[in-house]
Structure 1
Amino acid sequence: MTNTSSTKLDKAAFEIRKGGLPVRTLSESDVERCLPLPRLLDALEEGFEALERGEVQAPPRPEIVIPGRGFSLAMPAWQPGSKIAVKVVNVFDGNLRAGWPSHLSLITLYEADTGVACCVMDGTYITAVRTAASAALSVRMLARPDARVATVIGAGVQAREHLRLLPLVRQFDHINVCSLHDDEARRLAASHPLARAPGDARAAVAESDVVCLATHSAEPVIDPDWLRPGTHVSSVGYHPPAGELPVRLPREHRLFVETLDALLPPPVGCAELSTIDRARATTLGAVALGKAPGRCNDEDITVYKAMGIAMEDLVAANLALRCAVEQGVGDFMRW
């Protein structure tokens, strides 16, 4: 066999073993401590710009389906200047009955120059907060500057994170929380000074400048006729073969997405968008870079549909690791 390497190694490949390498580990509480929300919003906007410039590698996510139980998605991504990120997220709705989150996730980061693992962190919190943060970023980019009333439809994890993030992007007078489960809406609203639980979703939507759909519903949770002109609508729910977003909204109004892959069928894309012409959609990155207009006037109804993409996990996990190193947070394991 001809040796094509120009550098003579001190040891042959068969003589080299990995040995025990230190890998930082970050728990759910560590990650939450090391992920400042204002910095996350800015980092996500920069990530959407990098995505639009073609700097992010993020192949379509493969899916494993466990019949009657749930599904598992693998989501790798990388861009120059960052660690390689690989997230595995498992969605098992039955977990709630056992007192566990329905979405469980783990993220591993690798050095881009060697492929050596450098961090294993909880991805459950990241999955929740980066999803809500992308919706909040759409509000920052597309809602009217004078938006003062928001409504969150849903009272789960995403609704909780929306309540934390929405006040960072607009000065809301109040935020309505509406749910099929009124008691949960009231308990969630009681946790935030701006929130209230009016009980009447139609009336709440009708008074709102921003409407955020954050459910796991298999069917639309609002009627498009409830919306007033100038409203911005975001939707983060995922429940193929249908979903929470009325298909009329993206068909009749201006549609914004993370990537145009959102218009593909699930599991890569979104069920509510899979029959819509890709030419109707605009990416957040194109808006951020000034390549495409965002809101054009105060009467526009703008619609943002999120799928949750690996770039968001890449950005959030790299930010969490940088902050953890700065603060000396986390433990170490031998790999």
Structure 2
Amino acid sequence: MGGRMARFLTEQDVKQVLTVEMAIEAVESAHRDLSLGQAIDTPRARSRLPQTALHILHGGLPAQGVLGYKAYTSNRSGNRFLVYLFDAATGRMKAAIEADYLGMIRTGAASGVAAKWLARPDATVAGVFGSGWQAEGHVRAICEALPLERVKVCGRKADKLADFCARMSETTGVEIVPCASPEETVRGSDLLGTVTTAAQPLFDAEWLEEGCHVNAAGSNALIRQELSEQAIRRCGLIAVDSVPTALAEAGDLLPLLEKGRLHPRQLVELGDVIIGRHGGRRDAAELTLFESQGMAIQDLAVALRVLAAAETRGLGSELPMQ
């Protein structure tokens, strides 16, 4: 196995080495680097054709020696994801990695990192909206990040929801239960996650408990809105991946920004909490929010660790390029 050759990793290779713990450490490192001025992140660009759209996010982590991009196509038949890694010093290609599973775990990991830094450390009960593919990463990450005892999940299809809860209980060792109503999901929850494609707010702001932390992961366009304006206005701290990305894509925040009810300077980058530039949660009663849009540097940090683990285990195949 030549050290110079680029490697190709399949979904199967990634699944063998990627852990939620690894992803949380990687995503946290990306946010830390960004706040320390040691990262560059270029927000998503899209090319749309009638049947298919191509989405590209790119960036670099010079302190970690890597730059690269994630490209994915979305089509009615499904989405296809690839992450490309290049060596920052030489410009050589390091790897091409199939990244559907990687992206799902990484998106969840961002919520895990936010929960670790912003939720009350004694949070034991969580409520989650969504029981799809992305919700899996979300549930696994919050169970890794906090000492949760119970996760209530609200989903539209009862049979799919029951399956999801059974599978996640087994995977995490935490009691994960289907929830009958949005109100029941929100009330009594120390931590709340929204991982849906909802165009309308999912719950009433009045149901939020004092001291709750909300991870909003689904709304990445103006047409998508999971949280009501009232819910957002109850939050004393609004954290984002990065301010430029949030201003471009945070469907939950854009209506308030437009009306002047929220100012861009009120948005706190998650990395600033991690490095101590911002104090984070003020007290046990404050409501906090993390709006997750997703960034290339999160994918690159996770991909770098996946590549190292795969090389150690001799996984993947060499690509015929130098």
Q: TM-score, with normalisation over the residues of structure 1? A: 0.86
2:6 partner SS = strand
Query: Kindly tell me: are residues 279 and 252 of structure 1, through their superposed partners in 2, closer, same or farther at Cα, counting changes over 3 Å?
Result: farther
Distance 2:303 2:74 in 1: 20
The aligned counterpart of 1:173 is 149
The aligned counterpart of 1:258 is 241
Query: Kindly tell me: are residues 70 and 184 of structure 1, through their superposed partners in 2, closer, same or farther at Cα, counting changes over 3 Å?
Result: farther
Query: Kindly tell me: are residues 213 and 115 of structure 1, through their superposed partners in 2, closer, same or farther at Cα, counting changes over 3 Å?
Result: same
Contact 1:249 1:303 in 2 (8 A): no
Distance 1:139 1:309 in 2: 18
Distance 1:146 1:32 in 2: 31
Q: 2:252 aligns with which of 235, 259, 272?
A: 272
Query: Kindly tell me: are residues 223 and 103 of structure 1, through their superposed partners in 2, closer, same or farther at Cα, counting changes over 3 Å?
Result: farther
Q: TM-score, with normalisation over the residues of structure 2? A: 0.89
Give how far 1:34 is off: 2.1
Contact 1:263 1:278 in 2 (8 A): no
Select between 135-144 and 274-283 the one with higher mean Cα deviation: 274-283
Matches for 1:1-335 after TM superposition, within 5 Å: 22-67=5-50, 69=51, 71-80=53-62, 81-92=64-75, 94-95=76-77, 102-193=78-169, 194-237=175-218, 238-253=220-235, 254-265=237-248, 269-274=249-254, 275=257, 276-335=262-321
Query: Kindly tell me: are residues 121 and 166 of structure 1, through their superposed partners in 2, closer, same or farther at Cα, counting changes over 3 Å?
Result: same
Select between 301-310 and 166-175 the one with higher mean Cα deviation: 166-175
1:139 partner SS = helix
Distance 2:20 2:184 in 1: 30
Amino acid paired to 2:276: G
Give how far 1:71 is off: 3.0
- For the aligned residue pairs, the C-alpha RMSD in angstroms reads 1.7
Deviations 1:238-278 (A, max 9, x none): 3432322223333331200111113323xxx2122222311
Q: Which has the larger radius of gyration?
A: 1
2:70 partner SS = strand
Contact 2:127 2:191 in 1 (8 A): yes
Contact 1:182 1:199 in 2 (8 A): no
Contact 1:77 1:84 in 2 (8 A): yes
Distance 1:91 1:243 in 2: 20
Distance 1:26 1:245 in 2: 37
1:42 partner SS = helix
Distance 1:239 1:62 in 2: 13
Amino acid paired to 2:85: L
The aligned counterpart of 1:3 is none
Amino acid paired to 2:265: A
Deviations 1:269-293 (A, max 9, x none): 2122222311111111110111111
| 5+ long unaligned stretches in structure 1 | 1-20, 96-101
Distance 1:63 1:272 in 2: 20
Amino acid paired to 1:134: A
Kindly tell me the number of residue pairs found equivalent between the two proteins: 304
1:291 partner SS = coil
Distance 1:290 1:103 in 2: 37
1:317 partner SS = helix
Distance 1:200 1:306 in 2: 24
> How much identity, in percent, do the aligned residues show?
26
Contact 1:85 1:313 in 2 (8 A): no
1:51 partner SS = helix
Distance 1:42 1:23 in 2: 24
Distance 1:86 1:315 in 2: 11
Distance 2:186 2:266 in 1: 25
Amino acid paired to 2:270: L
Distance 2:207 2:70 in 1: 38
